Amino acid sequence: MSTKYRILAFLLILTGICLVLMERRPELSFGLLNSSSCDCDSCLTDVDPWFVTHFDRSVEPFLSTKSNLSMDNFNWWKNLQWDPRDYSFYLETVDKLFQTFPSPSEESSSGRCRTCSVVGNSGNLKGAHYGPLIDNQDLVIRMNRGGTKGFEQDVGTKTTHRVMYPESASNVDNTTHLILFPFKTKDIEWIIKATTTGFFGRTYAPVKRNIQANKDLVLVVNPAFMRYTHEIWLGRKGRYPSTGFMTLVLAIHICEEVHVFGFGADSDGNWSHYWEELRNKNLRTGPHSGSYEYNVILQLAQRQKVMFYKGY
């Protein structure tokens, strides 16, 4: 047998082994959008000049033992909610974080078209009847205190990931990922203590002393990812991005197909939540540029990078 045919035979055998391994361990076939193709009707990786200038696959969404936050990124982050702790204290706290929680690995995918529902909390979800469509996606990412009880027809029942920060925290069941968006070093301290000995203290508002969560399913967002969202996706509009918008960008990094619900004002132009009666008719989006964020979502939808359901 010639050398050329030996090489061809070796490559065929190697390909067969890889296919068997990928079938037995789906996580080997999935990275954070590191594939150049997917089986979705519309792929995020399809070439689009506007999208290419915004999406940076090299930015690590989650803190891990391999990630190193630069001093420059730390100084940007510590000013979001003013944190007196220095860089050394931050590094010590992150070390403690990974003594409590395992360092995250790339999440597994059931196939080449992993679909996500990103469920915001807008009052425009009332009467939308999106529940079955939301639950039909592989991952359902909800945020803060957005519950499902009593609103199942409109928002669904399934939750695979719950996004929060200490001031918006709620318990999660044993099968749900807890995704923490930290806005200061104290937030990282909080998740360590709230899941172990109990957190005693407060921030700008009271926070839960204890929280129920599966320690193997806790993920902490990288402050550098938050800065990337603010500067690249939002062009520094607003003081910093809303949790909802950062969650949307996160979904773009971990899913091949993204369905977006519950963003924007309600039909009367109020920035309300679907589960509560709006008392403050002048409620707006605080330090976040809600209107600019909404326009970026519209841009993503127009370019067929996300499927956006506007509600009612």
With b for 16 or more beta-carbon neighbours within 10 A and e for fewer, the 210-226 pattern comes to ebebeeebbbbbbbbbb
Question: Is 228 marked active-site?
Answer: no
What six digits make up the tokens of 185?
């070093």
Whether 288 has a binding-site annotation, put simply, is yes
Whether 129 has a binding-site annotation, put simply, is no
Whether 165 has a binding-site annotation, put simply, is no
For the chain, give the number of residues. Answer: 312
Whether 5 has a binding-site annotation, put simply, is no
Name residue, tokens 């998740």: 191
Hey, how many other C-beta atoms are within 10 angstroms of the C-beta on 19? 11
Whether 130 has a binding-site annotation, put simply, is no
Whether 90 has a binding-site annotation, put simply, is no
* CA dist 203 → 168, 226, 291 (Å): 12, 20, 28
Please check whether residue 230 is in contact with residue 240, taking contact to mean a CB–CB distance below 8 angstroms: yes
| Burial of 51 per CB tally in 10 Å (0-12, 13-18, 19+) | middle
Interatomic CA distance for residues 162 and 169, integer angstroms: 9
Q: Which one of the listed residues 228, 240, 274, 309 is annotated catalytic?
A: 240
Please check whether residue 234 is in contact with residue 241, taking contact to mean a CB–CB distance below 8 angstroms: yes
Whether 204 has a binding-site annotation, put simply, is yes
Question: Is 288 marked active-site?
Answer: yes
Eight-state DSSP code of residue 305: S
| CA atoms within a 13 Å half-sphere pointing along the CA-CB vector of 14 | 6
Beta bridge partners of 140: 117
Give the catalytic positions in this structure. Answer: 240, 288
Q: Which residues are annotated as a binding site for substrate?
A: 81, 121, 144, 204, 240, 244, 264, 273, 288
